[in-house]
Amino acid sequence: MSSTPEPTVFERIAAREIPAEIVFESERVIAFRDIAPKAPVHLLVVPRTAEYRDVVELGAGDPALLQEIVATAAELAREHCDGQFRLIFNTGEAAGQTVFHVHAHVLGGTLPEGSLGTE
């Protein structure tokens, strides 16, 4: 008997089971404000599919979706922080990844010099 994995927190946000301040939606991508921001602007850009755990899997499995995430991040940065931003993908627990559903952090505004911006 095969069990279905529990939906990730990001799948639950996309399904409106968990509230979030959503700033963008398309058929394949959703973006919302981080609940624990590390910068004046801290958005998450997330594919609706949980098929890919991290950016390496996504790049190998669906490069067009990765491009859509990057393009979405750039457009949101134009809207929220004059197009100046950091784009961070954490890959692996030791690198700070806590949700194993690929997602990009868009950080903007005045960031401390030398900061990574996310935990």
User: Among 4, 27, 5, 24, which Cα is nearest to 104's?
Assistant: 24
Q: What is the pLDDT of residues 43-92, one digit of tens each?
A: 999 999 999 999 999 999 999 999 999 999 999 999 999 999 999 999 99
Q: What's the chain's Rg over C-alpha atoms?
A: 14
Cα–Cα distance, 92 to 2 (Å, whole number):
26
User: Once rounded to an integer, what is the mean pLDDT over residues 96-103?
Assistant: 95
Q: Is 105 a catalytic residue?
A: no
The mean pLDDT value for 98-116 works out to 86
> Which residues does 40 contact at the CB level (< 8 Å), separation at least 6?
81, 108, 109, 110
Answer yes or no: are the C-beta atoms of 80 and 108 closer than 8 Å.
yes
pLDDT at position 2:
53
Position 102 pLDDT exceeds 70: yes
User: Is residue 5 very low, low, confident or very high in pLDDT (cuts 50, 70, 90)?
Assistant: confident
Confidence (pLDDT) at 78: 98
Task: Considering the candidates 42, 80, 103, 105, report the single residue annotated as catalytic.
Answer: 103
**Could you give the domains of the chain?**
9-108 (3.30.428.10)
Q: Residue 114: its pLDDT value, please?
A: 62
Query: Quick check: 29 pLDDT over 80?
Result: yes
* Summary mean pLDDT of the chain: 92
